[in-house]
Structure 1
Amino acid sequence: MQHYSIAVIPGDGIGPEVMDEGLKVLKAIEESHGGVRFACDEKPWNCDYYLKNGRMMPENGLDVLKNYDLILLGAIGAPGVPDHISVWELILPIRRAFQQYVNLRPVKLLRGLESPLRYKNHDDLDFVVVRENTEGEYSNMGGRMHQGTPYEMAVQNNVFTRYGTERIIKYAYDLAEKRPKKRLTAATKSNGINHSMPFWDEIVKEVGKDHPGIQTNLYHIDALAAYFITRPEEFDVVVASNLFGDILTDLGAAVVGGLGLAPSANINPERNFPSMFEPIHGSAPDIAGKGIANPIAQIWSLSMMMDHLGHYEIGKVILDAIEQVLIDGKVQTPDLGGRATTKELGDEIVRQIHLATR
């Protein structure tokens, strides 16, 4: 029997609603696979917590989290708290303190769905984006001067270290070695950003020499965004800096059905710290409390969590259950064209898990 401890942070808005469905799936996995158990502890750290305490999490929050095997996050953000507070005081400290330098996001068209790119099929839309997750454009370096005057200015520094750049590119190449197309695409903008991006390109080429069996392409980010639409079938593993990866993965989610279907994993590959799994959609305050949020991204993130733990069979069971519900087409939330509630869709995925493991 393998036991895993999970810190659960449901968060804000629709976060608790989709998290409830994710926890039901974990329970179904326990019932259908006798070899795993999950001890889940919920943490009430969100924007309400901030408004009451002036912090997004307790002062010792990171010390608390580091004792868990895994972290499961719902969604963070609320109208009463600026995004730069909710993100910079909860999500980014977790990613950085725990060296979750790999942000892994699949761009995969699930069976049972059609892409907005109506001329592309499921085989055309099946790749993964590896986003650098701890430095790059999202560095906390810079400042503002002369605020409120005509001379006001803001400076934001990008930070690309050799250590950080090498490790994310090495991870991406290692992942490409395990995938069928043996192809890596790196996002750059070295024709316009003349220090950090040529540095990035150089390291891509250096690391690529150790992987002669991988076809490598370097594309400028603007062209690459266009290729996500016009020729997505070319991609296998895409590696990008923090900002470029953030933008590309939202675009990738759009071409496979929307943010409600998009999971992500924040991974510490060395396993010195817990990794964190979450949907990439926001807290969606406009539909919070209505019971109509799509829980698939949250549940799919559990499939990624199982893969991270080495339970590939369980990860496949979860993803197959999601796809079977979509193929059946009878229980779908409004964003998918149906009338089902969040709970009804979650219950149907759980039912499919039990059916598949009888």
Structure 2
Amino acid sequence: MRSHDLAVVGGDGIGPDVTAEALRCVDAAADRFGFRVTTTPYDLGAERWLRDGVALDEASTEKLRGHDAILLGAVGDPRVPPGILERGLVVALRVALRHAVNVRPVRLYPGVTSPVRDLTPERCDLVIVRENTEGLYAGGGSTVHDGTDNATAIQNSVNTTPATRACVDYAFRLARARRRRLTLCHKTNILVEAGRLWTSVVAETGHRFPDVEQGYVHADAMCQHLPLTPERFDVVVTDNLFGDIISDLGATLQGGLGLAASANIDPTGAHPGMFEPVHGSAPDIAGTGRANPAAAVLSAALCLAHLGEHDAALALEAATASVLAELGDGPDTTDTTTDTTTDTTTGIGARIADHVRDVDPATIGDPAVSLMTAMGRVRTIDQ
């Protein structure tokens, strides 16, 4: 029997609540498709930092390297200064585990209402591939004359060919496995040096993928095109900062951050991927049963797809979409708005798990071009 060893970092706030439901659904998929999942919990997050003053220690990092994948619930707590957990845990893990690629699906499911007027599921099914370890997030900076009228802040951006190439290569492979269209999103007319590097890497890599159509859109123009004509995009590849911004805009199209999943991947396959919903920890509703676990379940589906269990991943996605449609207008935040017992965190998780056992993935679209199928084909890159 196939077996997958998962590290589980429930984290803070609603993180443990939604992660528990994601694991319930993974177990249902394992039962249906004939594989086994083992899990190891890790004490990482606000409570650990408040108790020990440690966001991430080397011993934990080494143990995490030994797993097949990592499920992360959420981090963030008002008792912890901003940046401590976000940079000290999440970003630190991305760097330590060589997660050069961040995958953010943007898909509007049937029955979910988008705030974008007249947007239909047929028009909204794309993937944003974001470079995950460099750019302004990793360049550092300095401030002089702080606290005076002459305060000057310098923030550096670092872009290297190896990390950019790894990200772009993964994006091309993903595009080839889907609809064979790739769009570079940058600001080459202003960020000339970084833009030249990204453009050259895309052009160089594109020679190896002559069957993939290439395009380019400025980052500011993307913020207009994405809400109005998302159907023009299939795979969008971009840098760290622009990817952070446009992927959240994409989440709005699909119904809100409460439905937004993500994957952090080392495209060489040398380190485990980390899969997390991007809705935040929402500590004010932790333990109340009001957190929608859909994004955590969809992140677990990305995890299974990356591990090669694409049939199970498709079933997990289709089951989640079916339950979202049953919820009526569909949630647009992590907070469900109904009072019935079946619409609690555990109630929604149980319903998704029940659907996993017999759902037909084709009910929400062609599995052949699904991200879940594509990720199963794009597990590693040539060295």
TM-score range, shorter chain: over 0.9
Amino acid at match of 1:261: L
Q: In the alignment, what sits opposite 2:285? A: 287
In the alignment, what sits opposite 2:11?
Answer: 11
Moved more, 277-286 or 226-235: 277-286
Unpaired stretches in structure 1, ≥5 consecutive residues: none
Counterparts of 2:213 and 2:57, CA distance in 1: 46
- Per the alignment, residue 365 of structure 2 pairs with none
User: CA distance change for structure 1 residues 109 and 124 in 2, over 3 Å: closer, same or farther?
Assistant: same
1:5-84 pair list within 5 angstroms = 5-33=5-33, 35-84=34-83
Partner in structure 2 of residue 252 of structure 1: 250
Q: Residue deviations 1:52-98, cap 9 Å, x none? A: 11111334221121111111000011112123111111111111111
The total of aligned residue pairs comes to 355
Quote the residue 1:192 is aligned against.
190
Q: Structure 1 residues 59, 337: CA separation in 2 closer, same or farther (over 3 Å shift)?
A: same
Structure 2 length as normaliser, TM-score? 0.88
Query: Aligned partner of 2:94: which letter?
Result: R
Residue-by-residue CA offset, 1:310-346 (whole Å, 9 max, x unaligned): 1111011111111121233379768465332111111
8 A contact 2:7–2:70 mirrored in 1: yes
Which AA in structure 1 matches 2:153? A
The equivalent of 2:266 in structure 1 is 268
Moved more, 335-344 or 76-85: 335-344
**Does the CA contact (< 8 Å) of 2:49 and 2:55 recur in 1?**
yes
TM-score (norm 1): 0.94
In the TM superposition, residue 355 of structure 1 has moved relative to its aligned partner by 3.8
In structure 2, stretches of 5+ residues that fail to align are 361-383
Distance in structure 2 (CA, Å) of the matches to 1:85 and 1:68: 25
Change (3 A) 1:28 1:143: same
Q: Which residue of 1 aligns with 2:363?
A: none
Q: Which moved more, 1:7-16 or 1:162-171?
A: 162-171
Query: CA separation in 1, counterparts of 2:174 and 2:96?
Result: 24
Output one character per residue of 1:9-49: Cα deviation in whole Å (capped at 9) or x when no partner.
0011111110111121122223333x311111111211121
Aligned residue number for residue 229 of structure 2:
231
Corresponding residue for 2:350? Answer: 347
| Alignment correspondent of 1:104 | 103
Q: Quote the Cα distance in structure 2 between the aligned partners of 1:313 and 1:146.
A: 58
Counterpart residue number, 1:211: 209
1-structure distance, mates of 2:102, 2:82? 20
Which of the numbers 293, 311, 314 marks the counterpart of 1:313? Answer: 311
**Maintained 8 Å contact 1:331/1:338:** no
Q: Quick one: distance in 1 between partners of 2:210 and 2:64?
A: 40
Q: Distance in 2 between matches of 1:276 and 1:354?
A: 25
Give SS of 1:139's match. coil
1:118 corresponding residue in structure 2? 117
Q: What is the rounded CA distance, in whole Å, between the counterparts of 1:221 and 1:114 in structure 2?
A: 26
Give the 3-state SS of the residue equivalent to 1:257 in structure 2.
Answer: coil
Corresponding residue for residue 140 of structure 2: 141
Secondary structure of residue in 1 paired with 2:284: coil
In 1, distance between residues paired with 2:46 and 2:234? 37
Deviations 1:85-126 (A, max 9, x none): 111111111111111111011100112212222322111000
| Matches of 1:140 and 1:49, distance apart in 2 | 28
Counterpart contact for 2:111–2:329, Cα < 8 Å: no
Asked if 2 retains the 8 angstrom alpha-carbon contact of 1:201 and 1:218, the reply is: no
Which stretch of structure 1 is more off in the superposition, 227-236 or 317-326?
317-326
Identity of aligned pairs, percent?
Answer: 39
Question: Of the candidates 298, 301, 306, which is equivalent to residue 300 of structure 1?
Answer: 298
Measure, in 2, the Cα distance between the counterparts of 1:8 and 1:140: 30
Secondary structure of the equivalent of 1:217? strand
Shift of 1:131: 0.5
**Structural mapping, 1:164-203, within 5 Å:** 164-180=163-179, 182-203=180-201
> In the alignment, residue 349 of structure 2 is paired with which amino acid?
G
Q: Which AA in structure 1 matches 2:15? A: G
SS at match of 1:79: coil
Partner residue, 1:243: 241
Checking the alignment, whether the CA contact within 8 Å between 1:332 and 1:338 is kept in structure 2 is no
Letter in 2 for 1:283: S
State the partner residue of 1:91: 90
